[in-house]
Amino acid sequence: MITVDNQQLSGLLEQMTLEEKIAQMLQLVASYFVGSEDDGQITGPMESLGITEETVNQAGSILGLGGAAKVIQVQQDHLKNDRLGIPMIFMADIVHGYKTIFPIPLAIGCSWDQELAEQSAAIAAKESAVSGLHVTFAPMVDLVRDPRWGRVMESTGEDPYLNSLFARAFVRGFQGEDLTNDVSRVAACVKHFAAYGAGEGGREYNTVDLSERQLREYYLPAYKAALDEGCELVMTSFNTVHGSPATGNRTLMRDLLRAELGFDGVLISDWGAVIELIAHGVAEDESAAAYLAVQAGVDIEMMTSCYVKHLPELVRSGKVEESLIDEAVLRILNLKNKLGLFDNPLRGADPEAERAIVFCDEHRSVSRELASQSCVLLKNTGVLPLQAEQRIALIGPFAQSKDILGSWSWMGAEEDIMTLDTAIQAKAKITSSNVLVAEGSGIDSITETQWKEALDVARQADVIVLAVGESSHMSGEGGSRADIRLPEAQLQLMDHLRTLDKPIVTVVFNGRPLDLQGIHDQADAVLEAWFPGSEGATAITDILYGEVNPSGRLSMSFPHAVGQVPVYYNHFNTGRPQKESEPDNRYSSKYLDIPNEPLFPFGYGLSYTEFKYGEIALSAEGITTDRPLQVTTTITNTGDTAGVEVVQLYIRDITGEVVRPMKELKAFSKVLLQPGESKEVSFTVTEEQLRYHHSDLSYTSDTGEFAVFVGANSRDVSERRFRLLK
């Protein structure tokens, strides 16, 4: 595609009136353009904007409209009305797939597989681009430690290093290498800047108050990784950072994001986040809100009209320099140019190709592969995998549910979804086992008829497969929960089934780590399926019947009880750590009623085979800036099934200038081992990996002693020590 040069863009800017420029900074949802209230995707409150048709006609971008024919029509209508013929950018939340829905990002995190993650983003981009979209509001890379927050499902988890790898993989997948000429890619928008995941109490949209060190050490790395990978846009977050709402926070946006991190792309507000500066209590009216946001460097205001209504006056009265507007508009025009929209405003939109590409078999098979890599086997007393000749009672609200895509799967269609019972029945035909199905309970209600029918069905079976979980509305945006157990009705169903002397395999569908009390202690096996996406039912069936050996590993800890939250593996020690030798010492840091440790730690997941770890060998006792350390161990598959182990390496700085985490993931390797096979796994630890933010925020390492841990998860590791010398 042909792009114009900077001079031409500046020339265009010069031709624009102030109102036309400011209209570029407005983003509206589809219903403003195609006339129907519920057309497109609505993800926030719809306030009355009080804007004229003329402003709508000049708006710079549109949110949540997909489908090549519709996009072409809206773009062409827009070009007829826009005096200078500036095309609109079409943006939407393509978070884990367009129509081919992949597992939710938290599940993708559990695959520890960046290549598949990248492939999923490339497919999402391809389906979106052919359907007319130019920008996706993804990846969401907020670090998450509080499973009460419904949006943990959109993140890849609690670890800054793993999140950074996935952030990069997603950006590469969405944007490819040449956004201008590869029209099957879309620009990525990393969100939500910054630290949206740290809301107090896990309550949606709540206050965030972090120390600068916490922010830099844990929360910033994944945003930075996305930017280093060339991510074109950034979205502001709803929360406060250091006492100021992010969307009007000059220090955060101008000093940190732009000056320090070097971001010069488009900064877009989250939905309504500009007007919300009033409710936050830092702006007294819309004009003040517009002032704060524009000063902070927010280029596009999403879904409120503070900019279009007030910036003209603010500029004319001299309160806001016109150069600030020009700067923002140039960034927007620049993005349009980079996307090739001045050359071809329809870009990849192609109704015919759309029919062939969207939800094609090739894309669905990648979704199935990723789903099978994302499920995590949490418990197995030996009942899994199921045997072909066993009679199965498939029970539970998710036995026949199509609600398995998870939040943010806007274009995913129920009619495309295979339910777990259909997938298992299809398998049963091949394996000649009997499958009986009963609902047993709803998500949060149970009747006597339901549980009695479930018991009747279960009595006839050798094994019960109990499919339980949260509905997709119980997580995602606005999906905070204070009690993260399964709804009572489903716990009761489990209790009824437990009265029979039958093995129970529980498959859990959900968008957050749950408190699994009442499930994991009652079941003989627990498979965490998350919201597994379009091909989830088949992927789960593959695992249940042993055609796929599970290899997912948790990227977020599962709490023992909600009272422990936030509970995460890379925590600090205290001055009075609980000692194994004195577990009951009252004056140690602990709870009286529950353990300190999570129920299932970060990195945890079982396989149908067993892996044995050899001793850790170090290439030297000391490491210097020029001489890294080789850490080597041998992993053996001691079982009789081929399997993939995720070998994990953690580091602890024994004495820091400030407190250092008990463990930090620094490297991992996914290794496929045949039965009886051994492989040597070697990692390189460099001085750079030992750096951290000191009290003066300098990012350096300390000489002294370090522990290196290698193992199957953040808890089950062996340890060696080495020294950093300088």
Shortest gap between Cβ of 33 and ligand BGC (angstroms)? 16
E strand spans, 162-257: 187-193, 233-236, 240-241, 244-245
Nearer to ligand BGC, 138 or 325 (CB): 138
Shortest gap between Cβ of 68 and ligand BGC (angstroms)? 20
Nearer to ligand BGC, 43 or 401 (CB): 43
CA distance 701 to 699: 7
The residue with tokens 């390189």 is 684
- Identify whether the C-beta of residue 540 lies closer than 8 Å to the C-beta of residue 420: yes
Nearer to ligand BGC, 246 or 724 (CB): 246
Nearest to 474 by CA among 435, 510, 436: 510
Nearest to 591 by CA among 568, 561, 570, 617: 561
Which DSSP letter does residue 218 get? I
Shortest gap between Cβ of 94 and ligand BGC (angstroms)? 10
Instruction: For residue 656, give both structure tokens.
Output: 């820091």
Tell me whether residue 716 is one of the annotated catalytic residues. no
CA distance 214 to 212: 6
Q: Is the peptide bond before 345 cis (omega within 30 degrees of 0)?
A: no
CA distance 306 to 298: 12
Measure CA 318 to chain center. 42
Nearest to 254 by CA among 399, 309, 262, 535: 262
Shortest gap between Cβ of 44 and ligand BGC (angstroms)? 4
Crossing angle (nearest 10°) for helices 286-296 and 306-316: 80
Nearer to ligand BGC, 270 or 286 (CB): 270
Shortest gap between Cβ of 301 and ligand BGC (angstroms)? 12
Residue 659: Cβ within 10 Å count: 14
Strand order of the sheet with strand 643-653? 622-623, 717-724, 704-711, 643-653, 664-673
Instruction: For residue 159, give both structure tokens.
Output: 């670890």
CA distance 236 to 190: 9
Shortest gap between Cβ of 268 and ligand BGC (angstroms)? 9
Nearer to ligand BGC, 137 or 193 (CB): 137
Shortest gap between Cβ of 90 and ligand BGC (angstroms)? 13
- Identify whether the C-beta of residue 514 lies closer than 8 Å to the C-beta of residue 486: yes
Nearer to ligand BGC, 93 or 286 (CB): 93
Nearer to ligand BGC, 302 or 717 (CB): 302
Q: Which residues bind ligand BGC (CB under 6 A)?
A: 43-44, 63, 93, 137, 191, 270-271, 477
Nearer to ligand BGC, 63 or 436 (CB): 63
Q: What is the CA radius of gyration of the chain?
A: 26
Shortest gap between Cβ of 687 and ligand BGC (angstroms)? 37
CA distance 144 to 325: 35
Q: Given 270, 421, 542, 702, which residue is catalytic? A: 270
Instruction: For residue 288, give both structure tokens.
Output: 């003040």
Q: How far are the Cα atoms of 579, 596, 623, 719 from residue 705, in angstroms, in the given order?
A: 21, 26, 10, 13
The catalytic residue positions are 270
